[in-house]
Structure 1
């Protein structure tokens, strides 16, 4: 990154030199033109500084383009360092638009939002890439797909220059490349292109040009006036269809240069992972590179957009040049439109894999999970939450399987119960989307993650927290009816009712989940619930976190220990903030 910074500084100096040079040459040329305005031979001499000015314009623009690319590359490395230094919060896309409150775990595990898993992982520049990564985080992939993604991530992780190129290609894309809009346009029926429209618009434009020639040659403006009026009328006749066709192209063609740049990177790379090779094969289209085809559409879209210019609009009314461009765009649509969805999906998958491979590259000590068909099973060594910084995360071993399906987790406030539960869930989500996990080792079978951790009431909907919670519990028990075992993660289950009802309700829910081959964890402050494992015929067990007093301070080690917690710190915490409660 330091070399990029030095190059950027040198380029900034060149840019200033080019800018000053252009200004000086422009001023001198205009001044000279003023003196030589009546001398034809002198004016011809001004072609030399004019040519120099044009060369400087081209060189300056190329310098600015390289500076813009380099700025994005520097941002790519700065984001990586921010993640490693725990300064990543607030950087990048949050993915809020993908959050569905009814999803089994997205809100509870902070998959989207500020300081979320998505914000930490995503380096995608296109909406297709963000959509693909979000889908992977929301839905567990089949085992074969997970293993294929793991191989692709391993292949991409050391390709730093490729990932830099993907992250640095094109301009900002926040308002462009809407994959659904673009793919729908690609499959749509052409609006303007008919034989009659093409013949009429081309013929009338030619006749108008001939009328201008006649005016110049015979000094008679009448043919040009007649043709102009006739063409104005025809322009009005096709205006609605033309505007509709142009609008569709402009909406579909956001920042296509970025899409083309990412496709070009994928086309030129030599991969070893089968999934990446398959992505390259999917791009092939009768020997034509998709990146070049997309660039051609981008150029057409840019030219079509210029029809809104104050000077271009009147000329368009008599020459129909924008209609000719639409004919070309709709011809492109006919040839390549059906492939657009494949190209967009390919770019989306490449960007999602690039995001996961960046995560793997930055954390080489994280393990790729071992996938097993026989389950249920979640067996982890030295597991921790992947969003916690190095040095603050405490690693714990954790195992659930067909023999030990339920952990009842007790412990005092602030001891780490909720964070530990989220660590299990987030690592399970990462494992089933093809990413490495924050553990020394993880063996996992196919599981449906479901959580009840962050339950909110709804004032507008008239729903209490307790009612919202039992609704979530009902959803989790319904998921348990499926063939894929549920990994249930329940934090302070049914805390909104009395101890008697809570014990009966919790035992009923846990027994139902266990009987349907689910595995999971429930945390509690209510020690009455720690008796539930005794009724589970060996399939349940207790574990706890604890604290200790060090002088006047409470100290937490965040280490998971077997058995039921023997301490409580509620009164200690109340006194610590100035509430003089007595024993």
Structure 2
């Protein structure tokens, strides 16, 4: 009777423990769902904020800023109030890097067209992408890189201690052994409990003996279950769609379901995380050699699935990058996917700057012509010359990334873009403004000599020297571009440079931005017009701040 009462007491004690475990699991599930819904709400609110004032809650890409790049610094590709800041919807390291590469490295027509198809296809599923993005938020994305490095690096060697066949058989049989001992213990009493006590002591010794190896294996995976679970759900979304575009199909090296492999790893990590609770971990190790059991499961999983994981995790980044551009296309439905031509061309209707709000933006038509020429753009201060050059450049960057351009219509061939706009001195490098300008010109001339199809955007060359040398240097540069058949947009205040059209004929074309002055007031229309500028405003602007010449 006493044994029966003891058994019943054990059962009655077990029931509230079981209920407690069920309630905790239910609460964890609800909290995870709440976190996911909060992330989804943030994603939707972020899109509303972007549409309202252009402020994006994702990374602005400051880490990719490079003043020595042929164009990214001058065209505001990276950093605060940049194209990257407007487009980016990536949280993974891979996604951020792929987006930066798309905006900063040269592309070729076949890849551009494939990317256009991929972005258009995801655009058709853009509503689904909000859930995809929500799953990836609020996680330590650096840990995913750590996990990838562990899987492809030392983990296999660190798991070598689990290869002992006898140890594996014993650990796998332990749940059955323990169940049998507890059941028989009620009938055979002290003998079985004595054997069980010895086993628990042996298990404690084995756990201590292997603890160093187990700690090495566990390092980097701790707390990663939720992160990997979110990634598994995101990857599952990519696997379930019947993608048509070649660019997306190429992201799938096989039909293998990586999401299932990741869920298997999640299950192992969740089991492993029991050691984070000292009491629970001790009980499980004494009874079931729990850490050893998890290590053996991890080794079996690693042999079976790890080769697929890195590609699967990287695939998320590539999808994030495409989703970034698809979201950009969805937010600005009036933008157009440019036509990529094999014939020399750069033309567009209603081309605008994507970083300027629609209500403030003034769009322009532009056609570079049928053969390489230098387009000299003259105009008043603040009339729009610099913005126009950046408008052309930044839309070319979008076009070559496979994204829609801020234009009603756009057609262009492949060019390598080179810019000369924001030239700064450097105290650290003891570089004056003029020396910095010479360095930039040297870089451009070098690129022009090496690139197959260079295009140059120049905004007010040689600001750091006197007007005579500035004119002579500008004239020499323009003639160099003419002789090398390099299409160039050259913005300047120096009206005398426009006279080069008379010397070089069709190899030079003049455009201008002007102002209308009425009753001493200046009005800007920011529209590109043919021919050289005839109205300048520096004297008026100086007068407004109290500087007049007598």
TM-score range, shorter chain: 0.7 to 0.9
1:55 deviation in Å?
Answer: 6.4
Going from structure 1 to structure 2, the CA distance change for 1:271 and 1:507 (only over 3 Å counts) comes to same
Going from structure 1 to structure 2, the CA distance change for 1:449 and 1:183 (only over 3 Å counts) comes to farther
Residue 258 of structure 2 contacts residue 309 of structure 2 at CA under 8 Å; is this kept in 1? no
1:393-432 CA-to-partner distances (Å, cap 9, x unmatched) read: 1111112245252111111221111211111111000000
Matches within 5 A, 1:428-577: 428-551=396-519, 553-577=521-545
Distance 1:222 1:54 in 2: 26
Residue 93 of structure 2 contacts residue 141 of structure 2 at CA under 8 Å; is this kept in 1? no
1:221 deviation in Å?
Answer: 10
User: Which of 13, 34, 40 is matched with 1:73 structurally?
Assistant: 40
1:283-326 CA-to-partner distances (Å, cap 9, x unmatched) read: 522xxx11111122233234445534443665688776334423
User: Which of 53, 75, 84 is matched with 1:109 structurally?
Assistant: 75
Matches within 5 A, 1:398-417: 398-401=366-369, 403-417=371-385
1:113 deviation in Å?
Answer: 1.2
1:265 aligns to 2:265 (yes or no): no
1:120 deviation in Å?
Answer: 0.8
Distance 1:300 1:50 in 2: 21
Matches within 5 A, 1:76-475: 76-85=43-52, 87-89=53-55, 91-173=57-139, 175-176=141-142, 178-179=144-145, 181-188=146-153, 190-194=156-160, 198-199=164-165, 217=192, 219=194, 223=198, 227=202, 230-231=205-206, 234-235=209-210, 239=212, 241-249=213-221, 255-279=227-251, 281-285=252-256, 289-311=257-279, 321-375=290-344, 377-401=345-369, 403-475=371-443
- Matched position secondary structure for 1:191: helix
Going from structure 1 to structure 2, the CA distance change for 1:225 and 1:557 (only over 3 Å counts) comes to closer
Distance 1:204 1:353 in 2: 49
- Matched position secondary structure for 2:401: coil
Going from structure 1 to structure 2, the CA distance change for 1:299 and 1:471 (only over 3 Å counts) comes to farther
- Matched position secondary structure for 2:440: helix
- Matched position secondary structure for 1:282: coil
1:272 deviation in Å?
Answer: 3.3
Distance 2:214 2:342 in 1: 57
Residue 92 of structure 2 contacts residue 141 of structure 2 at CA under 8 Å; is this kept in 1? no
Residue 203 of structure 2 contacts residue 289 of structure 2 at CA under 8 Å; is this kept in 1? no
1:361-385 CA-to-partner distances (Å, cap 9, x unmatched) read: 222221111111222x211111110
Distance 1:229 1:434 in 2: 60
1:218 deviation in Å?
Answer: 5.7
Going from structure 1 to structure 2, the CA distance change for 1:61 and 1:103 (only over 3 Å counts) comes to same
Residue 408 of structure 1 contacts residue 524 of structure 1 at CA under 8 Å; is this kept in 2? yes
Distance 1:524 1:536 in 2: 18
Distance 2:513 2:161 in 1: 77
Distance 2:173 2:302 in 1: 29
Residue 376 of structure 2 contacts residue 491 of structure 2 at CA under 8 Å; is this kept in 1? yes
Distance 2:174 2:249 in 1: 53
TM-score with structure 2 length normalisation?
A: 0.85
Going from structure 1 to structure 2, the CA distance change for 1:54 and 1:321 (only over 3 Å counts) comes to closer
1:69-104 CA-to-partner distances (Å, cap 9, x unmatched) read: 33322322322222322x122532111122233221
How many residues are treated as equivalent by the alignment?
Answer: 533
Residue 146 of structure 1 contacts residue 432 of structure 1 at CA under 8 Å; is this kept in 2? yes
TM-score with structure 1 length normalisation?
A: 0.81
Distance 2:163 2:487 in 1: 66
